[in-house]
């Protein structure tokens, strides 16, 4: 299997596919069908790492003030408690002291992009939380710990946002801010070059990093996906453009095959 970083943008992405939605649908059609999808999202943050064990996870509408149509959407995928317990075991063995949550549903960082990736909700889904104490190195390590699940056919998805400055969002503005373009291009170059150290240190090294990510939680899922990939994995870009002025919607696939 591969690992994937997906920019889930604003909740309105569920109703406004833009460039990214159809691209994710094509990707889901081209992928080998996974046994399950594991999603790490910044919309489930916990003091210590937790794993969702729900057999039928509910659709969580964890946002306010949007189009009423958004609150009617559901993503009725099944969970996969058996593989979730394997994730618990891997995390426990690695010293992460995980706990299980048997009732946790899917937050919008999971179900919104999955509506495009697997529209029929036929692939089981479970989530691993993003611990609040995570930094770039430990996010990468979290991906490494979860990586063996790929041998079980699990697609590991880090769901975040390539840029995420909500203070500067300009709704319906398709003209991307220059700083968002510059940061996104720097990240894209590092991903395509396979430079893991550059990416782990991106929030220090990349241009306009502090402005692109005033807080880190939407960037760290990229490092989880990176950590889950092979050391020399080939990477490709899913073009998403920039929505609402400042939200880069680019996503990245880390292929199982090594770079040449």
Query: Which three-class secondary structure string do you get for 142-181?
Result: HHHHHHHHHHHCEEEEEEECCCCCHHHCCCCCCCCCHHHH
User: Distance between CA 143 and CA 156 in Å, rounded?
Assistant: 8
Domain extent at residue 250: 3-258
pLDDT for res 169: 86
Check pLDDT > 60 for residue 80. yes
pLDDT for res 256: 62
User: Distance between CA 144 and CA 234 in Å, rounded?
Assistant: 17
| % of the chain with per-residue pLDDT over 70 | 98
User: Distance between CA 253 and CA 157 in Å, rounded?
Assistant: 9
Helix (H, G, I), strand (E, B) or coil at 44: strand
Q: What mean pLDDT is reported for the chain? A: 95
| % of the chain with per-residue pLDDT over 90 | 89
Residues 6+ apart with CB under 8 A from 30: none
Q: Which residues pair with 43 in a beta bridge?
A: none
Check pLDDT > 90 for residue 174. no
- Summarised one tens digit per residue, pLDDT across range 1-45 is 689 999 999 999 999 999 999 999 999 999 889 999 999 999 999
Which residue carries 């991106």 as its tokens? 202
Domain count within the chain: 1
| Token digits of residue 199 | 């990416």
Mean pLDDT, range 176-181, rounded to an integer: 93
Residues 23 and 113: beta-carbon distance below 8 Å: no
Q: CATH number of the domain that 144 lies in? A: 3.40.830.10
Check pLDDT > 60 for residue 260. no
DSSP 179-201: HHHHHHHHHHHHHHHT-HHHHHT
Q: Which of 10-14, 77-81, 102-106, 228-232 has the lowest mean pLDDT?
A: 228-232
- Summarised one tens digit per residue, pLDDT across range 205-252 is 999 999 999 999 999 999 999 999 987 788 999 999 999 989 999 999
């Amino acid at each position: 299997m591969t690992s994937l970083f997906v920019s889930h943008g604003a909740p309105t992405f569920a109703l406004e596919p833009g460039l990214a939605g159809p691209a994710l649908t094509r990707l889901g059609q081209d992928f080998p069908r996974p046994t399950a999808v594991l999603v790490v999202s910044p919309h489930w943050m916990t003091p210590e790492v937790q794993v969702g064990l729900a057999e039928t996870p509910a659709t969580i509408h964890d946002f306010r003030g949007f189009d009423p149509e958004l609150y009617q959407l559901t993503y009725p995928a099944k969970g996969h408690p058996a593989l979730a317990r394997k994730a618990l075991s891997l995390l426990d063995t690695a010293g992460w002291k995980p706990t299980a949550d048997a009732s946790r549903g899917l937050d919008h960082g999971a179900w919104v992009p999955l509506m495009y990736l697997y529209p029929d909700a036929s692939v089981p889904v479970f989530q691993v939380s993003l611990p609040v104490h995570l930094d770039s190195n430990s996010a990468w390590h979290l991906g490494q710990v979860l990586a063996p699940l790929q041998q079980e056919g699990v697609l590991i998805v880090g769901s975040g946002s390539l840029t995420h400055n909500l203070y500067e969002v300009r709704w319906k503005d398709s003209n991307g801010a220059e700083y968002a373009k510059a940061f996104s291009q720097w990240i894209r170059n590092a991903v395509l070059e396979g430079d893991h150290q550059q990416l782990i240190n991106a929030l220090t090294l990349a241009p306009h990093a502090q402005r692109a990510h005033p807080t880190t939680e939407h960037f760290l899922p990229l490092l989880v996906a990176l950590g889950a990939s092979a050391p020399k994995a080939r990477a490709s870009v899913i073009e998403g453009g920039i929505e609402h002025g400042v939200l880069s919607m680019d996503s990245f696939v880390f292929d199982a095959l090594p770079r040449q």
